[in-house]
Structure 1
């Protein structure tokens, strides 16, 4: 008899996550926050590898020796749910075979009870925790490599990055997905300096009859 994802133990979920890291055909899996706390040292400051407008990214270390990136979204009222769903939905729509988009390995959405201070009293409150797990790309983001023509990356590598980003965008646009916040910090690089487009929290998916859309909210990077 097969076991449903919600009935799996933390150790079974960990095994599934380690398998997904090695198997590029595997889709994102639902993960418990207890497991993500374990692999990030309870979201230790020492494991922090980046921070953006909507969350903090931690390095998650697996028992097998593998490494993943765990993004913990900030609890921004009315926004975190939208950003969370956009990331997961785009990952499922894009699929796992596109080499120029970052792979989403897993996700977590759990309600927790936390103690908060309110008017000199301590109260229990419900806090929705939302996290996303991505493949870890050791070379960081493109923003770290931008320089003038006299130094920095060889031109062959620069061309490889430009071409890869264009191929990734073309793939997204063929699936009617607009990134909405493409910038050097959202282009990550693997060991071979192959670019991967990341952060689909603001992305927009057009319907079949749409060729454009007007955003009513001022979001993204100026």
Structure 2
């Protein structure tokens, strides 16, 4: 096989070392490897299947590599070359994105990123998609797992396995073939029609659903299977906006309006990405001064995530082995590492009295129940202030709101000023923007 033979460098096994498995999908497997001559890590995307299936898949992989090369820019994953290994193995050599994807970021944080980072992600994805469409390409599979993140959490579009030359850019006598792909939850209503052929409006709809996922830190329609989604979306079903507080961040209302325009039932009414950029650039500029603090906060949170492997995308582990050991009990009371707890207390705010902290918690009960998402992480920091049975009861609740209600009822009410003050200190570490907004 000779992928990108006129532009790209061929990379063989002799040039690569320290192979590590990263993940897999329907198309193939992804590995991290160190290029001996270049001196940095790369990602190798290999095909699934044996030699007998490689002819058709080589053609698809070659098309993907050509498209990625054509779409190369700051906000699209870069292609370095093509891999040709032993036993007719073929693949694409790409830049390695060390921080996984938007999907794994949301999983790691157990919710949305801080608002400055949320607005930057929205803008960078729009920049990448605008460039893609300017090259007469569509992505056709835009979703959180296909937006990858580098060391500084900057976003780049990836996985062009379903990309193709845009219908609107083809001559009338050029007909495309192939089934409509992509993830059902990010597909527009018209895509569920048997005769549908993807156009740029497909990506605009997907962008709207992607924005919802980033803003909420959730997966759309989490309980619905593909069959139900395929029935519901053409009937007007969209992700719920009820739990989003439009006043929580400056410009959030405008971003939600853009989101709704992008997922409009009528493809013609969906704004092009150049129009999206006019909105996202303005919104990100409002939060630009806070982006470095937000990124540092997220990277610190990720670095403290336990039981993860550096070469594999991170995941949220609410029940890790280390945490289970930390919840050992003595006479029914949960015991934690006192040295760690002391260090956390030493780093807490000392300018606010415990009584004022407790008053803040009492006065903002409704807002805290609605907006605190990292409940279990905070409960962990409270240590033996939370009885073991209470911990289990809080953890068993299905939503963060229900967990917060249980925390108020079972721990704050009997615990008094001390436990509320400790909660305030932990809250300020996990949700500094929320504490500030509430006047704490």
What is the TM-score of this pair, normalised by structure 1? Answer: 0.67
Write out aligned runs for 1:127-206 (5 A).
Answer: 128-146=88-106, 151-206=111-166
**Corresponding residue of 1:35:** 14
Equivalent of 1:94 in 66, 71, 95:
71
Q: What's the CA shift for 1:80?
A: 1.3
Q: What's the CA shift for 1:129?
A: 1.8
- Secondary structure at the aligned position of 2:162 is classed as coil
Higher RCO, Cα 8 Å, sep 6+: 1
> Retained in 1: the 8 A contact 2:67–2:164?
no
Higher-Rg member (1/2): 2
Q: Distance in 1 between matches of 2:22 and 2:60?
A: 20
**Corresponding residue of 2:182:** 220
- Secondary structure at the aligned position of 1:57 is classed as strand
Q: What's the CA shift for 1:88?
A: 1.6
Relative distance call for 1:104 and 1:175 in structure 2 (3 A) is same
Q: What's the CA shift for 1:61?
A: 1.6
- Secondary structure at the aligned position of 1:157 is classed as helix
Q: Which runs of 5+ in 2 are unaligned?
A: 185-440
- 1:103 maps to 2:82: no
> Retained in 1: the 8 A contact 2:112–2:118?
no
Q: Which runs of 5+ in 1 are unaligned?
A: 1-5, 7-26, 42-46, 113-127
**Corresponding residue of 1:66:** 40
- Which structure carries more strand by proportion? 1
- Which structure carries more helix by proportion? 2
Relative distance call for 1:39 and 1:141 in structure 2 (3 A) is same
Q: RMSD value over aligned CA atoms?
A: 2.9
Q: Distance in 2 between matches of 1:40 and 1:84?
A: 24
- Secondary structure at the aligned position of 1:39 is classed as strand
Write out aligned runs for 1:13-52 (5 A).
Answer: 28-32=8-12, 34-35=13-14, 38-41=16-19, 47-52=20-25
- 1:84 maps to 2:61: yes
> Retained in 2: the 8 A contact 1:55–1:74?
yes
Q: What's the CA shift for 1:152?
A: 4.0
Q: What's the CA shift for 1:219?
A: 2.7
Q: What's the CA shift for 1:93?
A: 1.5
Q: Distance in 1 between matches of 2:182 and 2:9?
A: 27
Q: What's the CA shift for 1:214?
A: 7.0
Q: What's the CA shift for 1:202?
A: 1.4
> Retained in 2: the 8 A contact 1:83–1:202?
no
Q: What's the CA shift for 1:170?
A: 0.6
Q: What's the CA shift for 1:71?
A: 1.1
Q: Distance in 2 between matches of 1:53 and 1:93?
A: 23
